Amino acid sequence: MSALVRRRSLVVSTAIAAVLLTGSGVGAALLIKSPAQAAADTRPPAADVLTAPVERQVLTSTLVTRGQVTADQTVDIIPTASGGTSGAAVVTKLPLKAGDQVSAGVPVLEVSGRPVFPLQGDLPVYRDLKPGATGQDVVQLQGALRALGFGTGHDPAGTFGEGTKAAVTALYRAHGYDPMPSSPDGAAQVTAAEEAVTSSQRAVEDSTDELAAIRSAQAAGPTGAPSAGTDRPDPDAAAQKRVARATEDLARLRARLDTVRAETGPMVPTGEIVYLSAFPARVGGLSGRVGSIVNGKVMTISAGALVVTGKLDQADHGLVHPGQQVEVLSEISGTRATATVSAVGDAPEAADPAGEAQGQGSSTSGRPPGYRLTVRPDSPLDPQLAGQDVRLTIVAASSAGPVLVVPVTAVSADADGRTVVTVLENSQRHRVEVTTGTVGGGSVEVQPVSAGTLHEGEQVVVGIRSGRPGGDK
């Protein structure tokens, strides 16, 4: 190889080496950073301000709890053997089953051959009602009988007289029964009193005829009258006395007959009627069967409109008051209904026993202790809801009308303890002092302390959002 060729090869190699060294330097410059640059690259990204608009709306605060659909009145029927029957009380007829409708005046069961009639009324049965009885319970009985079409005649209100006896008899016989007599020997007493009156009437008639005969004889001649100064009794005076006494006896026996008649006749034993507040009613459950000996309640009847009852815990008790609106929801059927809180208990009640009064969709663990809540539907509920466990959404508070509303997270307290919201306008922030009102659904009612400093549509700061690397700052 010539010297010229060797020199050219050396020049080329030197150039290539220079290029390679230059590229390595550039790469190193790209990989190596100063401490300031490294700190800048690892600094957290800039934060974004989260805002929400000020809105104007009606704000409500709600409370959700559970309740059970029940009847306004629940009555346990615990039959007893009526007077005149001997031995243990036995269920002899049970024409209805659970869920069946109960009609006024139609027997719901038969015990030892005697019927049990449901009648309309609010006063519970507390005594046998017999002819001659008086009182408000008699007034209730008379009203129930008249409502069924059995008139009570001219009996005064509250007096169990002849008209009421006739109405009771008609009720029983309409269903194939004879009413229970108020006294086992009442008929015999009436018969004896009637016979006594008849005998007394005859005695009056006989003594009257005798007096008439004496006076007729005296009119015929002087021989019939005693002479003056003699001790012979005056026949006329003696006959008059017998007539007067016989007449007094007749009046007394007639009064006795009236009393016996008034106190005898059909009665209504306590075990043969049950009063319900309203009809139609329903059989809530059966605890007996035909042929079983009565030992406690045999039947439970639910009467009146369906209501919803529940329990409130201590924390919620002060938030719920009568008159508040409620939405009732059956998750089983999807049925919704509006209702109103009608009563809230003043004192906590014990827990309901597990399994008691359980219905479709109800819990089997019983209800915890709490304050009793009663909710009355605005319109009658579907009878199919009876016994169901339902959800209650109670409007615990509501603004009087449309108000300014912001998210709860927009409200804070400044260093001076003032309640404020922070308004963001043209990238500038300023605080507005407010007062708060109704809270509900994550929002709160606000009213600016200085009028005109907060408006619908303005943006208020609700939080800070961290930006993402490489994203918008």
Residue at a domain's end among 218, 252, 286: 286
- Helix, strand or coil, per DSSP, at residue 432: strand
pLDDT: which is higher, 234 or 19:
234
Query: Which secondary-structure segment (H or E) carries 167?
Result: helix 162-174
| pLDDT bracket for residue 232 (50, 70, 90) | low
Same domain assignment for residues 281 and 134: yes
Question: What does the mean pLDDT of the chain come to?
Answer: 83
Tens-digit pLDDT profile for residues 295-319: 989 999 988 888 999 999 988 888 8
The confidence score (pLDDT) of residue 342 equals 95
* Distance from C-alpha of 260 to C-alpha of 256, rounded to nearest angstrom: 6
What is the three-class DSSP state of 232?
coil
CATH number for the domain spanning 99: value is: 1.10.101.10
Residue 472 counted as domain residue = no
CATH number of the CATH domain containing 434: 2.40.420.20
Q: What is the mean pLDDT of residues 73-100?
A: 84
> What pLDDT shows up at residue 22?
45
Same domain, 142 and 14: no
**Number of domains comprising the chain:** 5
315 lies in a domain? yes
**Is 364 domain-assigned?**
yes
331 or 22, which is more confident: 331
Q: Which of 105, 111, 114, 106 is nearest to 288 (CA)?
A: 111
Mean pLDDT over residues 330-354, rounded? Answer: 87
Task: For residue 321, give the 3-state DSSP assignment.
Answer: coil
Q: Is residue 126 part of a domain?
A: yes
Q: Which SS3 state, helix, strand or coil, does residue 71 take?
A: strand
Tokens in use for 343?
């009563």
8 A C-beta contact, residue 465 and residue 44? no
| pLDDT over threshold 80, residue 212 | yes
Whether residue 151 is contained in a domain is answered as yes
Helix (H, G, I), strand (E, B) or coil at 100: coil
Residues 156, 129 share a domain = yes
Q: Are residues 312 and 388 in the same domain?
A: yes
Pair of tokens at residue 258: 């009236």
Say whether both 309 and 443 belong to one domain.
no
Predicted pLDDT of residue 233: 67
Reported as a single tens digit per residue, the pLDDT across 13-50 is 544 444 444 444 434 443 455 555 555 555 555 558 89
14 vs 457, higher pLDDT: 457
Q: How confident is the model over 444-448, as a mean pLDDT? A: 94
Span 339-362, mean pLDDT? 69
The pLDDT, as a whole number, for residue 71 is: 86
Same domain, yes or no: 165 and 282? yes
Q: Which of the residue ranges 218-227, 260-269, 398-407, 425-434 would you say has the lowest mean pLDDT?
A: 218-227
In the prediction, which pLDDT does 29 show? 41
Contact present, 273 and 264 (Cβ < 8 Å) = no
What is the extent of the structural domain holding 236? Answer: 186-263
HSE-up of 345 (CA within 13 Å, CB side)? 17
Is residue 348 scored above 70 in pLDDT? yes
Quickly state the pLDDT bin for 61 (edges 50, 70, 90): confident
Tell which of 398, 421, 438 closes a domain: 398
Within-domain flag for 133: yes
85 with 177, same domain? yes
User: Residue 440: pLDDT band by 50, 70, 90 thresholds?
Assistant: confident
In angstroms, the CA 153 to CA 165 distance is 10
pLDDT at 179 over 80: yes
> Is the per-residue pLDDT at 430 higher than 90?
yes
Other Cβ atoms less than 10 A from the Cβ of 235: the count is 18
| Nearest-10 Cα torsion for 351, 355, 356, 362 | 90
Examine the domain organization and report whether 198 and 215 are in the same domain: yes
**Length of the chain, in residues:** 473
The predicted structure's pLDDT at residue 367 = 55
Contact predicate 78/270, CB 8 Å: no
CB atoms within 10 A of CB 202: 12
Mean pLDDT of 128-139: 96
Sequence-separated (6 or more) residues with CB below 8 Å from residue 410: 52, 421, 422, 460, 461, 462
Q: Are residue 220 and residue 277 in the same domain, yes or no?
A: no
> In this structure, are strands 114-120 and 273-276 parallel, antiparallel, or unpaired?
parallel
pLDDT attached to residue 239: 85
Residue by residue, what is the 3-state secondary structure of 339-373? EEEEEECCCCECCCCCCCCCCCCCCCCCCCCEEEE
In-domain check, residue 22: yes
The band of 471, judged by pLDDT with boundaries at 50, 70 and 90, is: very low
Residues 275, 196 share a domain: no
* Amino acid at position 231, single letter: D
Q: Is the pLDDT of residue 473 over 70?
A: no
Question: Is 448 found in the same domain as 345?
Answer: no
96 plus 135 within the same structural domain: yes
Q: Average pLDDT for residues 162-166, to the nearest whole number?
A: 96
- Residue 103 pLDDT greater than 90, yes or no: yes
Question: Taking 60 as the threshold, does the pLDDT of residue 148 lie above it?
Answer: yes
Domain membership flag for residue 74: no
Compute the distance between CA of residue 43 and CA of residue 62 in angstroms, rounded to an integer.
45
Confidence of residue 279 (pLDDT cuts 50, 70, 90): confident
